[in-house]
Structure formats: C-alpha cells, structure tokens
Amino acid sequence: MAKKVVIVESPKKAREIQKFLGKDFTVKATVGHFKDLPEKEMGVDLETFEPKFVIKSTNHKKMLSEIKKLAKDKEVYIATDPDREGYAIGYFMYEELKKKAKDIKRAEFHEITEKHIKEVIKKAPKFEETNFGLFNAFLGRRVGDRIVGYTLSPIASKEIGGRFSVGRVQSPAVRLIVEREREIQNFKPTPYYVLTAVLEKDDKQFETTFEKQKIEKKEEAEKIFKEISKENFATVKEITQKEVKQKPKPPFTTSTLQQTASSKLRFSPEKTMMLAQDLFENGLITYHRTDSVRISQEAIKSIREFIKISFGKEYLPSRARSYKSKNTQADAHEAIRITHFVDLEKQKQLVNEKGLSEDHFKLLKLIYERTIASQMSDAVYSRTTVVFDIAGHNFKTTGSILKFEGFKKVYLDEEENTEDKILPPLEKGEKVKKVDQKLEEKLTKPPPRYSEGSLVKKLEELGIGRPSTYATIIKTIKDRGYVVKEGGSLKPTQSAFELIDYLDSHYKWVIDYDFTRRMEEFLDYVEQNKKNWKEFVKELYEKSTNKEKSKISRKMLKYALDLAEKHGKDISDILDNPEELSKFIEEHKETKPSEKQIAYAKSLAEKTGLELPEDVLEDKEKIKKWINKAKKEAMKTYQLSEKQKAVLINNGKEDLINQPEKALKWLNSYFKRKKRRK
C-alpha cells in the first residue's frame, strides 16, 4: 500500500507523475473543479456574501470518497495548478482531508519532468503555511461574478426583451468589439497622395518616395509631379550608413502565446490553451498560465549550451539575457518555455511518443523557437538611407542588408520581410537616371476589426482579465451569440449592440474599462492579503442593485401598444406613466391561449397520451403550465434527428446527443443566434 498520496487536477497529468514517483506514491486526479456554486440558484447569502459551494456531480462525489479513503492517516501532497483556480481546487481538497490525513503539504509543479517533480515534493511546505490569499482572490472573483451575472442578466433580458447575459469581464470585452464596429461604420475615407520616382543605375531599378509620404492636397501632389516630370535625373544629396541591431523578443507569456498562435497558426485562444494544457501535462513545456517572461537560471544554462552546440558560438551573446516582467509579482513563475533542450526533430519525436497531434507539434515548435531565440545574439543589419534631389524636392529611399541573422536563424515574426533591399553603389553629388514616376491616389482605411489575438492584446493592455481568463472570455462572448467570427475577425451581432447600449444607459460601470481594471487590481491585493475579498463583492453587489430600474421596459411598451391597436384605443397620454400603463395592460390583456398554443398542446397530447382538459384550452396561464409538463414527458422518449445531431457534432457539442432536453435548448438558442446574424 502506497504511503503517500499526490492530488492533481487532470487524470493525464496523474498518470505522467505516477511514472516518476513510483510505488511509494498514489497519484489521484480531482478532474478539474469538483466544487462550485450551484447551477440553478444564486448560491450566495446576500447579507454576509458567504457562498454555498456544492459537489458538482455524482462522479466528483465518487472521486472525493475514494480520495478520502486513500488519504486516511497518510501524507498528502496537494499539487493542483499553481494559480488561483488551481489553489482553490487544492484548498477545497485540504478542507475535505485535514481531519483525515496525517499531514497535508502543498506542491506546485511548474513543469512535469522527473527532476522537477522530485525536487518540489522534497521541498513542499505544509498547506497551512501557504498563501490563503490565493483562495480569497478566487472567492472574490467567483462570488462577485456570480452576483453581477445573476442580478443583472435577468434585468437586462426583461428590459431589452430577449435573453441577455451580463458579465463583469465579458461585457467590457463585448463593448470593445462594438465600439470598433461603430468606428468602422462611421469611418469616412479621405484621399491622400503618394508620389514615387523610379531610378536606375547599373541596370538596376529602385524606387524612391517623396519625403512627405502622405500628401493630403491633390493640388500640391499634382504640382510636384508636374515639376519633377521635367527632370531626367535625381541628384544624390545625402547618404547615411549605419549598423542596426535587433534584439530577440522575450519568451512567451499566456497572452503573447495566444496572440502569436492566433496570427501565425490561426488557432483560437481556446484551442491554444487546450493544446498548451496537453503539452504541459505531458511534460513538454512549463506551466502555460503565466504573465512572467523570466526563465530560471538552470534553464538558461541549458538553452545556452544547446545554442552553442547547435548553431555555434557566434549565435551566443557573451552574457545570458534576462527579461523583466511588467508585473514584478509575475516573476514568482516562469515564462512558457520548452522543458527538453533538444532540436526540432527530437521535439517532434517527443510529441509522437506522447501520442499527440500535428497541431500540438505546431504549437510546441512555436514555443521552442521563441524559447531558443530569446537567448540568442542580436540580428545585425547594415542600413543605408539616401536622400535625392529631384527638381528641388527631396525624395528618400532606404536599403537594408542582413549582415548577421542571429536569433532570426530560429524565429521570424509573421509581419517581417527579411529579404535584403540592396541599393546600387551611390556617391554624394552623383546624378542617377530617372526612368519613371508615379502619383497614386489612396484612401485612408478604417481601423480593422479585432482578431482573437488582437483582442487578447487589448484586454491585457487595459488590464481586463488575467492570463487564465482570456481564452474563456472570448469563448463566452462567442457562445452567447454576441460575436461571430468572419474570416479571422470578430464581428458583433445585433444583440451585442443592444446589450452595450442598454448597459451604457443603465449600468455604465459594468462596461467601464477603468473600473474593470481597478477591480482586477483589487483581487491582486486580496491575493497579497492586503484587501478583504468581501469588500470586492460588496462593491459589486451595491452597484448591481443600485439602479433606478426602468419602470417601462421596451417589451412592456410594445405589448401595450399592440393591445391598444387591437382594441382601437389611444394610449398616447399614458405612455410615460408606468402605473396607468400597467392598469391598461391588466384590463385589456389576452387571457385566452393563442391558436398556435392550442395546436401545440394538442400535438403534445397525441405524442404523450396525457389528458388535455377543456379548461386548460380556455386559459393562457393553465395551458403554459400544461405544455411545460407535457414537454418534460415528451423528452423521455424524444429522439434527435440526424440533422440535429450533425449540427451538434459540427459545433463540438456531441456530448449533448444523449441529453435531448439540453440538446434542444442549445439548438434553439443556436438557431436564434443564427437568425439574428442574418
């Protein structure tokens, strides 16, 4: 019987770690969060803000019971992920086991390699000595977000009319996309003019551009064009030559990995994080949720050794490079880097041995390139800038030659053009033949829509969300139907405009970027034990409940006007009076069910064999209740069509195929969103 128990989140990680620790240890997985707030209720006491966490599923109950038996009188190592969410899972487990286990320690694995894991286990502190501020920060976020979502979503849905979801972090992200779309819609292109001359020397042609790259007035552009057209030569006025060095970028953080994988590999942030999770759990990269750019001294030593052997001494700077994170706290962790310092062919081999996919290798290759390049020599360019005089006007051209590729041997940015632009040998005062000239009218362009990568960058710039949440934010706003992907861009739907306009009028604070940033900073202080998480929640609760609710919703107004038309009544004098309007609706509202409702109830009665009493067919409220009951009955034998199954599979929802009620709910919302987009 194993003497020690290690608890992690993922079964895959558990298997990997078990190999390293051997028979003295049993490694068990919680399978993610095993406790959470209840699904169908607030789950928070609104006076004390104490949350009510429940075990998520019967499988989680079974897992917990097994771990409790295993941990009895044993030494336990809680080794859930090294971030707030991971610590929270660990804390819940600590609470469950503290009266059963002999001793509970906290182990933080930043890479799944034998050496690292054994070192961490050896030095693991007692759980009681770890930073409970991490759990408090988790509580602040989870409870605060629940209160905002559960308080404001029903109000927004009722007042706008439809189904709307409000989130402390998701709503500012939707605002960004809506604002960008409005900028694009309101953009008026203005013309500008670009003037170039084509010169030739030694049978080599090259372009030179007028010193003002954008000429705003057409008359000015045409005047210069006319003046230079009389000239057959350009005179070399000035030559500047200098050596330019380009430094490599730091290794990846969560945000920069998501941005680069989005632009280079066209991976969504969600996909990037899923692949990175697998690479981490299989021991191929360090922990993938981090905003640190620091690499450990030991890893730097291995990287430098690898560069020297693989590329030669000239590719190795005399001193190791060190990178500083913007947030000094971040440096407690490392950047995302490879864990095996071997060439790409061997990295590919490792991916295959672990049974991972081609996409896993593409992401690993990106991390490998950025890790190695971050410790390599500068790239060195020789840059020549020449100013020409043509008919008294200055034209400029630049030539660039890569003299030493340095880190570019391994890593190129997607936007970089590395081709040399070589100019013929030129001397000051020399006349060069002008063979052509061009005047082009161009139009200013609107700002581009956000891509998933550029949205992550913007969220990070504004301080909205944290490394572990960027992918979830983007997935949520897509799933809720606020954003659709067109090509590589994110486009807001009509619902997004409606929601942001509503929040802007009634709950401006929810979509205030600065407020959202300050709340994220508040949680950082909670993590450092400098602030109380309940203060965070209290502020969100007070703001969520402190609004003069719109007495007359758009839905109520529309219903009243429809009734007025039906009954031939003029209600223009009471449209601003909520009491009178409510009275009018009460007096004139329809109590009989619609023909559509009656037909639907009858078809359900046939399918289910349930009795449909006459009085139900006469009363709108009664028929609603009867239909809900009959629908539940019908669900017991309902079979999804092949077409419905295909839609679920195409949208990655195949897990709903055996849950028809949930599947239909999802399909209904999917088709509604699709209809709105059209």
CA distance 240 to 398: 9
- φ, ψ of residue 392 to 5 degrees: the values are 80, 5
- For domain 254-373, the CATH class is mainly alpha
Average pLDDT over residues 100-105: 94
Which residues lie closer than 8 Å to 429 by C-beta, 6 or more apart?
A: 235, 236
pLDDT tens sequence across 133-179: 999 999 999 999 999 999 999 999 988 888 899 999 999 999 999 99
Domain with CATH 2.70.20.10 in the chain: 191-247+379-443
CA distance 101 to 93: 11
* Mean pLDDT rounded to a whole number for the chain: 90
CATH topology of domain 4-130: Rossmann fold (3.40.50)
Domain 139-186+448-545 matching CATH 1.10.460.10: the answer reads: yes
State the DSSP string of 261-280: HHHHH---HHHHHHHHHHHH
Which residues lie closer than 8 Å to 315 by C-beta, 6 or more apart?
A: 307, 308, 376, 377, 406, 407, 409
Return the pLDDT at 205: 93
State the alpha helices, DSSP H only, in 356-468. Answer: 358-373, 452-462
Residue 22: left (phi > 0), alpha (psi -120 to 50), or beta? left
Q: How far apart are the first and last CA of the chain?
A: 62
| H or E element, residue 85 | helix 84-97
Which residues lie closer than 8 Å to 120 by C-beta, 6 or more apart?
A: 79, 107, 108, 109
Return the pLDDT at 328: 52
- Cβ neighbours, 10 Å, residue 398: 13
Residue 536: pLDDT band (50, 70, 90) is very high
Burial category of 44 from C-beta neighbours within 10 Å (exposed 0-12, middle 13-18, buried 19 and up): buried
- 670 is an active site residue: no
User: pLDDT above 70 covers what percent of the chain?
Assistant: 96
CA distance 597 to 374: 66
Structure-derived torsion over alpha carbons of residues 560, 566, 570, 575, reported in degrees to the nearest 10: 10
Domain with CATH 1.10.290.10 in the chain: 254-373
**CA-based nearest residue to 1, from 75, 106, 62, 93:** 75
> Domain 191-247+379-443 is classified in which CATH homologous superfamily?
Topoisomerase I, domain 3 (2.70.20.10)
Domain with CATH 1.10.460.10 in the chain: 139-186+448-545
Model confidence, pTM: 0.78
> Both tokens of residue 375?
């410790």
Domain with CATH 3.40.50.140 in the chain: 4-130
Average pLDDT over residues 482-495: 92
Which candidate in 77, 193, 287, 502 is catalytic? 287
pLDDT tens sequence across 408-431: 999 887 666 667 788 999 999 999
